[in-house]
A and B are shown apart, each in its own frame.
Chain A
Amino acid sequence: MKKFTFAAASAVAIVASGAAFAEPQAEVLHWWTSGGEAKSVAVLQEEFAANGGTWTDMPVAGGGGDAAMTALRARVLSGNAPTAVQLKGPAIQEWYEEGVLADISAVAEAENWANLLPASIAAHMQCEGSWCAAPVNVHRVDWIWANADILEANGIEMPTTWDEFNAAAEKLQAAGITPLAHGGQAWQDATVFETVVLGVGGPEFFHKALVELDQDALTSDTMVAVFDQMRTMRGYVDDNFSGRDWNLATAMVMNGEAAFQIMGDWAKGEFMAAGKVPGEDFLCASTPGDGYLYNVDSFAMFDVDGDDKVAGQALLAELIMGPNFQEVFNLNKGSIPARTDVDLAAFDVCAHTSAEDMSGTSERGSLLPSYAHGMALRGAQSGAITDVVTAHFNSDMSSADAVQMLADAVANSM
């Protein structure tokens, strides 16, 4: 009898709430599945639930989102798009052009996103003037990580030019230490490549070559010099680098088998997980040259039917940009908040450097999108460049040939 009353009461409650407002619903497709990342997303889910929403999780990991994008295409084609999808860079605009994204301008304008985000990052979130995605974080890609003890023992300072880097590497090699920990996967090769382009060519050259795909820049002597530096660095990598996961490369730096690693700031999480302290056990610095290569994760909202889902999208967008989520998530993830007004007191030294550099480079115009992480170019073009970069790095191709191949590949990808 008691049971019955309870059931009846809750049924009434459900009907009543259903009549009053649409309960926010969201099915979220993302590829943050490892322990730390999953916990970070769980923060968002909890906030979502606390605001009366129902979160359905649709995680698909693998290949930096390749598998998730496969699932997304299938879902969209079958007319069953997820509510929110982890998407980034020009892919957002590409999907917008397919006419499948929802407009979240109402939330963005109410929350004043335009003033909270650096201009170049805000631009990524907009599709022809309307807001179509919400940014989660800013990863910096052009980091160089170092083992503090090794540098000290060999009397080496963090390099500020590529020549200094080369000199340090020679010294380390002479001392029998692998200078550069690297994993030979195409995206890691591309990560190193873009930092070299930035360092050797400068921010303007980077923009011309890897954002505008200017043929003159791609075939210039500067680009030849970039490939020369890549060839030099190939000599600083140990013999077994091929196919190595990035975190194993990080472990090499941690364990003192190698001195440096060039990798985005997700590598920091790996150091932290092993109980290492930034500034003491390991050092972080931007790679040589002025500039800041950002990799911004964001969620795009897809066109869906149903008031509950639309309400879910609005709530989700609001929460993603909320200061609490931005702080908690990024503390876990190694990145910094996308919105610039979050208090960074709880963050570490590296994050502080990242935040200062972001505002500095933003003013100087050298806050640039990472090509290797899909922020600068569409898939076909960035893929074509990566093919050449990785083919060059993993063979004895000459720099001149590589430059020619690069120009051809970019032209062929259009």
Chain B
Amino acid sequence: MTDMTVTNARSGGLSKIALRWILYILLGIFALYYLMPLFVMLTTSLKSLDEIRTGSLVALPRDVTFDAWRTAWSGACTGIQCEGLQPYFWNSVLIAVPAVMISTLLGAMNGYVVAQWRFKGANIIFSLMLFGCFIPFQVVLLPMATTLGKLGLAGTIPGLIFVHVVYGLGFTTLFFRNYYVTIPQELVKAAKVDGAGFFRIFWSIFLPLSLPIIVVTVIWQFTQIWNDFLFGVSFSQAGTQPITVALNNIVNSTTGVKEYNVDMAAAIIAALPTLLVYVVAGKYFIRGLTAGSVKG
């Protein structure tokens, strides 16, 4: 956007400065609203269990201790094994990374076809795929379990990757389609005249232009897949359970003694990769959305 505010600042006097202050205070208040749960989680994770039992839940810790973090990572019981989140963390990586890559690549190809190689019925196909974004996952659990069993993928990491790819396709296709639709069709036409084929055009023209939307898609997919619990708990078996299942095992046990500090530390550890992605790639996220001009 243009330098609207600069003009304003020049033309304004005291009232403009006051407005500026109000603006910052407003932004600050909202920042508090967004930070509150993270604050509670962080402070609780740094307290001892005694302090949590006796003190206020929203107070700062009196004695900071990192024991809970150590326990959550490598000592908390998630069943009879007390190895913390560590082993499950790698399962999640093994599931999320390929699933994100495959679904993003397929989404890019699909979006490219739907946006640039329109054929009769392409729009209907796209609509049908889009509708797939909306299916509540609880609905598909049981038939999916049967299908995975038939495919011989039950309880395996490839099975989980497969499920995430299938139900991620709707969104990834949508993202890429909306991005590619803004690229003028003349580009493809010109390339065709030059003798470039379908894949050539995709690899050498579209893909290099796609970085912003790839970032958006990867962030979206990674968040969805990393945070998934329902598929993770249903389609895994011993040894392939993702981190959310382990986290749930630590946090949601019903009839044992609750260690809230470990719960909170575990929760933050489980969320670190996605947090990191948002912090590091957040800037590109907005840029990606801007570049695609987020056409609806």
Contact = CB atoms under 8 A, between A and B. Distances in A.
A contacting B, Cβ–Cβ less than 8 Å: yes
A173 B93 CA distance: 54
A34 B142 contact: no
A331 to B, nearest CB: 15
7 closest Cβ pairs, A-B complex: A34-B256, A59-B79, A78-B149, A78-B154, A38-B77, A34-B253, A74-B145
A164 interface: no
Contacts of A247: 257-258
A8 interface: no
Interface of A: 27, 30-39, 41-42, 45, 55-64, 67, 70-71, 73-75, 77-80, 82, 245-247, 251, 255, 264, 266, 269-270, 273-274
Given A62-B248, A75-B145, A30 B79 contact: yes
B237 A80 contact: yes
Contacts of A56: 238-239
B141 interface: yes
Interface string B47-64: 000000110000000000
A245 B230 CA distance: 23
- Which of B54, B142, B253, B259 gathers most chain A CB within 10 Å? B253
A130 B98 CA distance: 47
Contacts of B142: 73-74, 77
Residue with the greatest number of chain A CB neighbours at <10 A, chosen from B149, B235, B248, B256:
B256
Contact of A36 (B79, B250, B256): B256
Contacts of B54: 255
Interface of B: 53-54, 77-82, 141-142, 144-146, 148-149, 154-155, 230, 233-239, 241, 245, 248-259
A33 B145 contact: no
A70 B233 contact: yes
Contacts of A255: 53-54
A259 to B, nearest CB: 19
Contacts of B256: 32-38, 266, 269
7 contacts: A31-B253, A56-B238, A61-B251, A71-B236, A75-B155, A77-B149, A246-B254
A71 B79 contact: no
A188 to B, nearest CB: 11
Given A59-B80, A61-B248, A78-B155, A71 B234 contact: yes
A206 to B, nearest CB: 23
A73 B145 CA distance: 8
B228 to A, nearest CB: 13
A73 to B, nearest CB: 6
Contacts of B258: 34, 245, 247
B149 A57 contact: no
B154 to A, nearest CB: 4
Given A61-B254, A80-B237, 4 more contacts: A31-B253, A38-B82, A60-B249, A78-B154
Contacts of A33: 77-79, 249-250, 253, 256
A37 B155 contact: no
B148 A78 contact: yes
A80 B256 CA distance: 29
Among B237, B241, B245, the most chain A Cβ lie within 10 Å of the Cβ of B237
Given A34-B258, A247-B258, A67 B248 contact: yes
Contacts of B154: 75, 78-80
A330 B142 CA distance: 35
